């Protein structure tokens, strides 16, 4: 009983948000979204999801806070080192056969993944032939990504990941330190374009050799996953490579028939001809 009302209230809230601000959250995965909504309910001291409707409609700041919350920006340099090792060993040699290489990081959050990729490409003497497009729909995260500045408290974790990924030196060689921060060298960001792109409402990114969309689809329900997976595949050139997050699952998606598996544990796929 209460459960059905909860669904109804959720639906009404998302409809209200869409009508007022144009943001579509209807196809986001439910459990993560409920977590966030509950957090806002407790901050606003309300018992019902529908109580958030007047709040979000009339208080733009409260809604902006919700959007920020909905966009989980958790990421790391060289997150899942085995994955980067697999890239280095098996995918880079493939990319080397192209005169020019286009890479898209969809849902790049605060950019750590894109910098990790730039470092890896640099160590493989490939960076000068590469253009990385790193996109997200969270403008706040993109701002941090463009700055390339991160708290230096995270450096030990980043160094550890980097070394486990098969890195050749030390990350300190790619950044400068000061004011409790690290800042990645401009030489890396010269090859990265950070841009706003919404996977729900924006279009294809053309003719990519490599697309990474890690830990983004998990926030979508099956229907939206399917739609976005198709968008990612359509953005690849023939035989282009697609990388997803380590525990992501496309077995149940219709578009997965357009992909062949390159490395199943690391979730690396290739677009069929």
Ligand X SMILES: C[S@@+](CC[C@H](N)C(=O)[O-])C[C@H]1O[C@@H](n2cnc3c(N)ncnc32)[C@H](O)[C@@H]1O
| Interacting residue ranges for other proteins, rule: CB under 8 A | 2-3, 29-32, 34-35, 38, 72, 74, 80, 215, 217-219, 222, 225, 245-249, 252
Q: Does 141 bind ligand X (CB under 6 A)?
A: yes
Q: Does 75 bind ligand X (CB under 6 A)?
A: yes
Q: State the binding partner of 35 from ligand X, other proteins, none, CB within 5 to 8 A by kind.
A: other proteins
Min CB(207)–other proteins separation in Å: 28
Min CB(154)–other proteins separation in Å: 13
Q: Does 192 bind ligand X (CB under 6 A)?
A: no
Q: State the binding partner of 3 from ligand X, other proteins, none, CB within 5 to 8 A by kind.
A: other proteins
**Which residue from 136, 171, 210, 236 is in contact with ligand X, where contact means CB under 6 A?**
136
Q: Does 215 bind ligand X (CB under 6 A)?
A: yes
Euclidean distance between CA atoms 191 and 233, whole angstroms: 23
Min CB(273)–other proteins separation in Å: 28
Determine contact, residues 36/66, Cβ cutoff 8 Å.
yes
Min CB(123)–other proteins separation in Å: 23
3-state SS, the chain, equals CHHHHHHHHHHHHHHHHHHHHCCCCCCECHHHHHHHHHHHHHHCCCCCHHHHHHHHHHCHHHHHHHHHHHCCCCCCCCCCHHHHHHHHHHHHHHHCCCCCEEEEEECCCCCHHHHHHHHHHHHCCCHHHEEEEEEECCHHHHHHHHHCEEEHHHHHHHHHHHHHCCCCCCHHHHEEEECCEEEECHHHHCCEEEEECCCCCCCCCCCEEEEEECCCHHHECHHHHHHHHHHHHHCEEEEEEEEECCCCCCCCCHHHHHEEEEECCCCEEEECC
Q: Please name the residue that has the structure tokens 């995260």.
A: 141
Contact string (CB under 6 A) for ligand X, positions 37-66, x = contact = ------------------------------
Task: Give me the residues paired with residue 210 across strands.
Answer: 103, 241
Min CB(50)–other proteins separation in Å: 16
Q: State the binding partner of 199 from ligand X, other proteins, none, CB within 5 to 8 A by kind.
A: ligand X
Q: State the binding partner of 138 from ligand X, other proteins, none, CB within 5 to 8 A by kind.
A: ligand X
Q: Does 199 bind ligand X (CB under 6 A)?
A: yes
Q: Does 214 bind ligand X (CB under 6 A)?
A: yes
Min CB(21)–ligand X separation in Å: 14
Residue 259: C-alpha distances to residues 167, 212, 223 (Å): 29, 14, 18
**Which residue from 23, 115, 174, 219 is in contact with ligand X, where contact means CB under 6 A?**
219
Min CB(155)–other proteins separation in Å: 18
Task: Give me the residues paired with residue 263 across strands.
Answer: 268
Interacting residues with ligand X (CB under 6 A): 71-75, 79, 107-109, 113, 136-138, 141, 198-200, 214-216, 219, 245
């Amino acid at each position: 009983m209460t459960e059905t009302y909860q669904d109804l209230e959720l639906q009404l809230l998302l409809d209200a948000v869409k009508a007022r601000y144009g943001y579509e959250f209807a196809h986001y995965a439910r459990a993560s979204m409920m977590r966030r909504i509950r957090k806002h309910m407790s901050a606003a001291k309300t018992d019902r999801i529908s109580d958030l409707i007047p709040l979000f409609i009339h208080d733009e700041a409260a809604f902006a806070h919700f959007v920020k919350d909905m966009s989980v920006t958790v990421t790391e340099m060289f997150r899942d080192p085995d994955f980067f090792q697999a890239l280095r060993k098996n995918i880079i040699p493939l990319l080397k056969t192209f005169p020019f290489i286009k890479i898209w990081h969809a849902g790049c959050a605060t950019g750590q993944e894109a910098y990790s990729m730039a470092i890896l490409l640099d160590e493989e003497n490939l960076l000068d032939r590469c253009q990385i497009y790193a996109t997200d729909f969270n403008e706040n995260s993109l701002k941090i990504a463009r700055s390339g500045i991160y708290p230096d408290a995270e450096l030990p974790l980043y160094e550890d990941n980097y070394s486990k990924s098969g890195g050749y030196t030390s990350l300190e060689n790619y950044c400068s330190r000061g004011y409790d921060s690290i800042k990645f060298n401009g030489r890396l960001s010269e090859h990265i374009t950070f841009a706003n792109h919404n996977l729900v409402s924006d279009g294809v990114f053309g003719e990519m050799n490599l697309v990474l969309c890690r830990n983004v689809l998990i926030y979508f329900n099956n229907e939206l996953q399917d739609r976005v997976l198709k968008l990612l595949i359509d953005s690849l050139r023939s035989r282009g490579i697609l990388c997803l997050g380590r525990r992501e699952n496309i077995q149940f998606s219709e578009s997965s028939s357009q992909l062949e598996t390159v490395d199943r544990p690391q979730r690396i796929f290739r677009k069929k001809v």
